[in-house]
Amino acid sequence: MKQIRNALFACSLLAAVGLPSFATAEDAVAVNTKTLTQLGAEWRDENPYSGQTEAIRIGEDAFAENCARCHGLQAKSGGVAPDLRLLDRDCIDLPSASQKQACFKETDKYFLFSIRYGKVRNGNVYMPPFGEYLSQEAMWAIKAYLASLRTNQI
Ligand code: HEC
């Protein structure tokens, strides 16, 4: 309960002051993805780097620099923003490999949409859009990192 209260408090705080330094992702830290297969201009709807060690390594740094201030170090949320280790939680216990695959694809899509456009409701910026600041390669590397930590219980 305390955790829920803290999360609500943090959210109302974000909403109340609008957190000017958080309102955009202008201070996003560029991510070097040269060692990954380059993806071109077309947006993918499924992680092309799933399970790849180099992508996970790059994603870990990119997450620490751009996301951890809200989502927590090593993706362990302190209650300010959702715990992203749980992002794929509904997929983990699905009975067949094909169902899991389809479910992971859904969360991949949701993940990409969330980072590109941020989380903005009624004019309040809960999370700034990163679409202009991070490359598609960097976004999928972050997802590969988060998928390496995926769990359905914390
Ligand atoms: C300024 C704080 C902040 C930063 C920085 C931030 N986020 Fe968020 N993020 C949030 C908040 C708050 C929410 C919940 C928004 C809501 O209530 O809809 C959220 C939601 C999300 C969601 C949806 C989670 C869900 O369970 O629905 C994803 C995915 C996400 N963030 C990924 C990222 C990634 C990846 C980064 C780094 C590139 C990042 N965020 C940076 C604050 C932040």
Is residue 11 a part of any domain in this protein? yes
Taking 60 as the threshold, does the pLDDT of residue 17 lie above it? no
Domain presence at residue 79: yes
Average pLDDT for residues 128-143, to the nearest whole number? 97
- What's the CA-to-centroid distance between 29 and ligand 1, angstroms? 16
Count of structural domains within the chain: 1
The preferred substitution site among 114, 142, 149 for testing ligand 1, maximizing ligand atoms within 8 Å of CB, is: 114
| Confidence check: pLDDT of 35 > 60 | yes
Residue 117 has pLDDT above 90, yes or no: yes
Asked if 107 contacts 91 with a C-beta cutoff of 8 angstroms, the reply is yes
- Assess whether the C-beta atom of 70 lies below 6 angstroms from ligand 1: yes
Q: Does residue 22's CB lie within 6 angstroms of at least one atom of ligand 1?
A: yes
Question: 22-26, 134-138, 148-152 — which is least confidently predicted?
Answer: 22-26
13, part of any domain: yes
Coil, strand, or helix at residue 126?
strand
Residue span of the structural domain in which 98 resides? 2-148
Q: Is the pLDDT at 8 greater than 70, yes or no?
A: no
pLDDT at 92: 96
Query: What pLDDT is stored for residue 129 in this prediction?
Result: 96
In a domain, 154, yes or no: no
- Which pLDDT value is given to residue 22? 53
CATH of the domain at 68: 1.10.760.10
153 lies in a domain? no
- In this predicted model, what pLDDT tens digit does every residue of 72-98 receive, in sequence order? 999 999 888 999 999 999 999 999 999
Q: Can you tell me the mean pLDDT for 41-55? A: 97
Residue in 75, 81, 95, 92 with CA at minimum distance from that of residue 143: 75
Give domain status of residue 32, yes or no.
yes
Is residue 82 assigned to a domain?
Answer: yes
Does the pLDDT value for residue 3 go beyond 80? Answer: no
For atom 8 of ligand 1, the residue with the nearest CA is 127
What burial class does residue 119 get, using C-beta atoms within 10 Å of its C-beta: 0-12 exposed, 13-18 middle, 19+ buried? middle
Tell me how far the alpha carbon of residue 82 lies from the centroid of ligand 1, in angstroms.
7
